[in-house]
Amino acid sequence: MAANTLTQYDFFDADPARQERYMDRVCSFLSQRCDTPPLALVHSFGCQQNSSDTEKLKGMLARMGYGFTDRPEEARLVLFNTCAVRENAEDRVLGNVGALKAYKAANPELIIALCGCMMQQPHMAEKVKKSYPYVDLVFGTHVAHMFPELLYTCLSEGKRVFNLSEESAPMAEGLPVLRDNDLKAWLPIMNGCDNFCSYCIVPYVRGREKSRPSKEIIREATELVAAGYKEITLLGQNVNSYGKGLEEQINFAGLLHQVNAIPGDFRIRFMTSHPKDCTHELIDAIAACKKVCNHIHLPVQCGNNRVLREMNRHYTVEEYLELAAYAHQKMPDVTFTSDIIVGFPGESYEEFQDTLELVRKMRYSALYTFIYSRRSGTRAAQMPDPVSGEEKGRWFQELLDLQEKIGLEEHEAMVGGVYRVLVDGVGKTGEGYLTGRTESNVIVDFKAPKEIIGQFVQVRVTKARNWLVLGELI
């Protein structure tokens, strides 16, 4: 719909009432031009934080009168919330944007919008501006709450709209949310990152750390429990830093105690937790709060101290292992998952072997593994990187094989045990199977009637597989 003329915003406004007015304007604009409610296709790339942000974007779209579709040929608006953490995520976005060109040609009224971390990078926004002229609306992470205003400008003026403001402000409150799940909910407690790990683009695209006031978090969590949600995941780029910059004196351990005190039968999870800020106080809180799951996602990234220093991680392997040992002392049944980067610039095969040794010691229940991806603008992008992609691929496979063996052994140790499982849907094992997760985040498939979906049940594990366990309902 938008012409090739361009409206370049540098404008930032944190007033939610202003965006409410623009939601009304968009709704009125569309009602005058559409015989039926317009449909939007919304897709999120990347992390759980992006998924949560997308639920807010969908909430605003619903408030503006849009329905939703998965078919681009039916859509009057396509919105991609993009990811910049790895190159393949950016490639996937651009591939999907390229495929929209034909739909735009068939339907000139179609609005194509891109937002999120990838668009907060000036060079990527410039690439979209020049190489994808049929993209109508581009905005970054700091102004996602201004989506109604930006969309109204695009619709009413018929121009391309770009807003890449880098101004940072407290997290916007009061936005409508359309959740993708009625059983498990994302609950952001903070945004941004101050750590500047040398490989990571997040601090540059998400900005500095900003925490929500605890009263807002408790209000939202209480509403979720009242609405029947059984699992709440507290989100942040580094939840262990929660509380920095707030007027109130509170840290993440204190927040866990507050959420745990909300009446109701529900679980609390959290991610992501930075090892340098993980304290004995936090582990004590996890152990004391019975609704907080005994599963800790603690990204280590590497098992060699020299490489960790080059990554700017601010902890040693020994400190990481001490934290894990303390957690096992307080919670014998605690489980850990982690992130690992293979082939960081300058990493040798001998140093990679230290990572394998750490994995053997930690015996993670699951790993999220990645081959290093160069991110323009980070310090690691300037480091010599002599190891070939083929060699890194061999290391990567070695890590996968080790974790597969450990994961199967850990699952085999569960056979015969009885676990409390939150049933969250239909399983993929076969006809009649449901699926759920234990408190330690292990997937369990078992035969049971669909009527128990959404409930906590007791399941006895009968068989282990690499990626899940099978069980029987008690």
pLDDT tens for each residue of 86-130:
888 888 999 999 999 999 999 999 999 999 999 999 999 999 999
Confidence of residue 6 (pLDDT cuts 50, 70, 90): low
Domain count, the chain: 4
As a residue count, the chain comes to 474
**Residue 75 main-chain phi, psi, to 5 deg:** -80, 145
- In-domain check, residue 407: yes
> Cis peptide before 272, with omega less than 30 degrees from 0?
yes
- In-domain check, residue 217: yes
Lowest mean pLDDT among 57-71, 145-159, 169-183: 169-183
pLDDT of residue 60: 96
CATH number at residue 126: 3.40.50.280
Indicate if 157 and 8 belong to the same structural domain: yes
Q: Average pLDDT for residues 236-252, to the nearest whole number?
A: 93
pLDDT of residue 261: 98
Confidence of residue 168 (pLDDT cuts 50, 70, 90): low
- In-domain check, residue 149: yes
Q: Taking all residues of the chain, what is their mean pLDDT, rounded to a whole number?
A: 94
- In-domain check, residue 147: yes
pLDDT of residue 15: 76
Question: In the beta sheet, which residues pair with residue 367?
Answer: 338
For tokens 């098992």, the residue is 303
pLDDT of residue 330: 97
pLDDT tens for each residue of 389-404:
999 999 999 999 999 9
pLDDT over 70 percentage in the chain: 96
Task: Kindly report the pTM of this predicted structure.
Answer: 0.93
Indicate if 136 and 8 belong to the same structural domain: yes
CATH number at residue 232: 3.30.750.210
pLDDT of residue 169: 63
Counting Cα atoms < 13 Å in the Cβ hemisphere of 251 gives 11
pLDDT of residue 53: 93
pLDDT over 90 percentage in the chain: 87
Indicate if 397 and 259 belong to the same structural domain: no
CATH number at residue 466: 2.40.50.140
User: In terms of residue numbers, what domain contains 63?
Assistant: 3-163
pLDDT of residue 12: 59
> Given the DSSP bridges, would you call strands 67-68 and 77-82 parallel, antiparallel or unpaired?
unpaired
SS (H, E, C) the chain: CCEEEEEEECCCCCCHHHHHHHHHHHHHHHHHHCCCCCEEEEEECCCHHHHHHHHHHHHHHHHCCCEECCCHHHCCEEEEEECCCCHHHHHHHHHHHHHCHHHHHHCCCCEEEEEEHHHHCHHHHHHHHHHCCCCCEEECHHHHHHHHHHHHHHHHHCEEEEECCCCCCCCCCCCCCCCCCCCEEEEECEECCCCCCCCCCHHHHHCCCEECCHHHHHHHHHHHHHCCCCEEEEECCCHHHCCCCCCCCCCHHHHHHHHHCCCCCCEEEEECCCHHHCCHHHHHHHHHCCCECCEEECCCECCCHHHHHHHCCCCCHHHHHHHHHHHHHHCCCCEEEEEEEECCCCCCHHHHHHHHHHHHHHCCCEEEEEECCCCCCCHHHHCCCCCCHHHHHHHHHHHHHHHHHHHHHHHHCCCCCEEEEEEEEECCCCCCEEEEEECCCCEEEEECCHHHCCCEEEEEEEEECCCCEEEEEC
Indicate if 289 and 369 belong to the same structural domain: no
Q: Average pLDDT for residues 335-348, to the nearest whole number?
A: 97
pLDDT of residue 227: 97
CATH number at residue 379: 3.30.750.200
CA 397 → CA 336, 356, 393, distances in Å? 21, 12, 6
pLDDT of residue 88: 84
Q: How far apart are CA 88 and CA 305, in angstroms?
A: 28
Which of 135, 163, 191 terminates a domain? The answer is 163
What are 322's two structure tokens?
């001490």
Indicate if 12 and 158 belong to the same structural domain: yes
Q: How far apart are CA 9 and CA 62, in angstroms?
A: 25
* Residue set of the binding site: 47, 83, 117, 193, 197, 200
- In-domain check, residue 12: yes
- In-domain check, residue 321: yes
Confidence of residue 17 (pLDDT cuts 50, 70, 90): confident
pLDDT score of 10 more than 70: no
* Residue set of the binding site for [4Fe-4S] cluster: 47, 83, 117, 193, 197, 200
pLDDT of residue 5: 55
Q: Average pLDDT for residues 205-232, to the nearest whole number?
A: 96
Q: How far apart are CA 466 and CA 474, in angstroms?
A: 23
Sign of the dihedral defined by the CA atoms of residues 375, 377, 380, 382, in that order: positive
pLDDT score of 8 more than 70: no
Indicate if 79 and 197 belong to the same structural domain: no
Indicate if 155 and 238 belong to the same structural domain: no
Indicate if 213 and 264 belong to the same structural domain: yes
Q: Average pLDDT for residues 443-462, to the nearest whole number?
A: 97
pLDDT of residue 62: 97
pLDDT of residue 13: 64
- In-domain check, residue 18: yes
Indicate if 104 and 215 belong to the same structural domain: no
Indicate if 434 and 451 belong to the same structural domain: yes
Confidence of residue 140 (pLDDT cuts 50, 70, 90): very high
pLDDT of residue 215: 96
Indicate if 203 and 332 belong to the same structural domain: no
pLDDT score of 313 more than 70: yes
pLDDT score of 7 more than 60: no
Which of 110, 131, 163 terminates a domain? The answer is 163
Q: Which residues contact 442 (CB under 8 A, 6 or more apart)?
A: 335, 365, 411, 414, 419, 468, 469
pLDDT tens for each residue of 365-377:
999 999 999 998 9
- In-domain check, residue 252: yes
Indicate if 122 and 263 belong to the same structural domain: no
What are 118's two structure tokens?
């990838």
pLDDT score of 3 more than 90: no
Confidence of residue 340 (pLDDT cuts 50, 70, 90): very high
Which of 249, 272, 293 terminates a domain? The answer is 293
Closest Cα to residue 51, out of 83, 14, 84? Answer: 83
For tokens 């408190």, the residue is 439
Q: Average pLDDT for residues 2-21, to the nearest whole number?
A: 67
pLDDT score of 1 more than 60: no
**Of 167 and 189, which is predicted with more confidence?**
189
